[in-house]
Structures are given as structure tokens and as C-alpha cells.
Chain A
């Protein structure tokens, strides 16, 4: 999706739609099941931090080890850690804050446990 963000913006404009930030980004969230560093870098560059949720889908679609890095493709936390696009604050939002906002029932359950 981030790779073609310009196309989506341009199409929305032709349809006389509001900007994507207003049209979609109060409702749509993107997870980080993207299995290489350049993909995560692009995601974090194009999509606002508030719309990104940490995820790995581990032991899922891609279970092998990347010979270029020596680590599992689905170990997505490594890419988040290595991202030069994310500040410490943004990283924390991706890891926790955004998920607690989107999954409000989880947030409530965690708060009830004092977390």
C-alpha cells in the first residue's frame, strides 16, 4: 500500500474525495507484517505513526530465516528497532500506544490489571 500511496492519493483527488488523511486515516490501520527492512522503512515513511500497529504474524506465512540477515523474516521487531524513521516516542506508539487505542477492550483489561 505505501508503495502506491501516490496513486491512491491521485485517484481520490480525481474522484473529488477529501485527502486520504481525512478520508481513511481516522479508520484504517496498517500492521507491520512486512518482512524486510526496506518495506518497514517505506511503511514508516509514508504512513503516519498513529496508524501503524506492531505485528509479526509469527509462525505464519513466512517461516524461514533470511540468509541476508541471518534472522527470521517474521522477526519484525528487528526492523522496527532498526528503523531510522521512528523516534523513541513513535516506536513506543507503534509497540503499545496505538494498539491500546485501537483495541480499547484490551486497554481496559490491561488497566484493570494495573498495566
Chain B
């Protein structure tokens, strides 16, 4: 069996992006905010978006199962506040869950967290637990820089992040350290910000006692 541990739902139906754009437009005008129930994507649409894309390529290239999380660049944790991020994460995770149910032999879910700049990471725990317990997800994505290229959060070794690590150890799930869109024009998102973040997170682990405190942590 060949397991691809890093796949994102980059091919979600257009309705998702349209809903997100309305949500963003409504940040300063709550009356313009769309309801979650206004986003309607059928199982057939989900099926088609996967069968013609990821699943077609998996079959062509010969991999069997992909660990599948929401589109990383669309996480955009820097947009809006915790409430905006929470609604958005919940929608995106649910779509990955539905994909994992439609194609149970080919996809297993991993969660994006409802992170937001300045918000305490422990606010992510209800969504994390929902995804693991209700959706059967097998991992999470952790963004070390919810500000999108300005690095306003403390390093991953800071105790502020520990509640997330405690849950990771409790459920025995790994985190993929993964930033999202850069809104700092110095850093190209996938060419610079993504790569910088890997080095940054690695050195934060190297210089700290993180794995002394959490010997069972997997990142």
C-alpha cells in the first residue's frame, strides 16, 4: 500500500470560494455575512471534483490513500477574527470529512485548525476534538504563523501552544507544520513563506526543550 501523507482539497467546487469571499466581504459588515447553511455543495459535486482530479492522479501514479486536509493557502488565518476562522475551519473540515466518507478507501482526513492572530491556541481544541472524535481524522495541520508572514505568534516551543500538544499526545495524532498564504509582500507564499516556515519551525524545535516536555509528540 502507498500512503500519500500530504494532500489538500485544492479542487473544491467554486461555491466554496464564493462563500468565503462573501464571508470576507462581511467582516466589517456583519449583516452581509453569509450563513453556513447558504453554502450548498452536493455529494455529486464533491465526487466529481475528486474523481477527475486527485483520485484520477492517484490511480494514474499508483498511490492508494491520501491524508487529506483543507486547502492550505485558503486557510488564511490572518483574515478576520477567531469567529471568522472558526466558521471557515469548520466548513473546510466538514468537506474533507465528506470526501473521506465518499471515498473511504482513498482518503483519510486531517484537520485545519481555527487559528487566528493573537488568539490563544487552546481555542482550537473544540474543533480539533470534533474532527478526531466525530470525523475520524488522523492528524492536524498546525500553522506556526497565523499572521500570514509577519510572525507575530510566539515560537512553537512557547507554552502557549502546549494545550494543542497535550491533545496531540492524548489522541496520538501528528501535526503537519504548515503555514498559509503570505500577506507580507517580501515572502512569496509557496516559494518562500512555506520553505522559510519549515526552517523556522525546525530551529524552534532544535533550540528548545519541546520534545523533552513532549517525548511522544510527532510533527
Contact = CB atoms under 8 A, between A and B. Distances in A.
Interface in A63-115: 75, 77-78, 95-96, 99-100, 102-106, 109-110, 113, 115
Interface stretch (B38-46, B114-122, B200-208): B200-208
Contact of B205 (A28, A31, A103, A106): A28
A99 B66 CA distance: 11
Contact of A58 (B4, B72, B219): B4
A95 to B, nearest CB: 5
A47 B213 CA distance: 24
Interface stretch (B29-37, B56-64, B79-87, B89-97): B56-64
A11 B204 CA distance: 12
A104 B190 CA distance: 29
A42 to B, nearest CB: 15
Contacts of A29: 174, 218-219
B67 A106 contact: yes
A78 B2 CA distance: 13
Contacts, number: 124
A45 interface: no
Given A59-B54, A106-B108, A115-B1, A77 B7 contact: no
B3 A100 contact: yes
Interface residues of B, number: 49
Given A12-B206, A27-B205, A103-B67, A58 B57 contact: yes
Nearest to B67: A103
A28 B202 contact: yes
A96 B2 contact: yes
B174 A26 contact: no
Interface string B1-32: 11111111011000000000000000000000
A46 interface: no
Interface residues of A, number: 42
Contacts of B211: 23-24, 26-27
Of A31, A56, A96, most B-chain CB atoms within 10 Å: A56
Nearest to B194: A61
A43 interface: no
A20 B206 contact: yes
A103 B206 contact: no
A78 to B, nearest CB: 8
B2 A77 contact: yes
A103 B139 contact: yes
B176 to A, nearest CB: 8
A20 B207 CA distance: 11
Interface of A: 1, 4, 8, 11-12, 15, 17, 20, 23-24, 26-29, 31, 33, 53-62, 75, 77-78, 95-96, 99-100, 102-106, 109-110, 113, 115
25 contacts: A1-B199, A20-B206, A24-B205, A53-B6, A54-B4, A54-B5, A55-B7, A57-B6, A58-B57, A59-B10, A61-B190, A77-B2, A77-B61, A77-B62, A77-B63, A95-B1, A96-B1, A99-B3, A102-B5, A102-B174, A103-B67, A104-B172, A105-B138, A106-B3, A106-B67
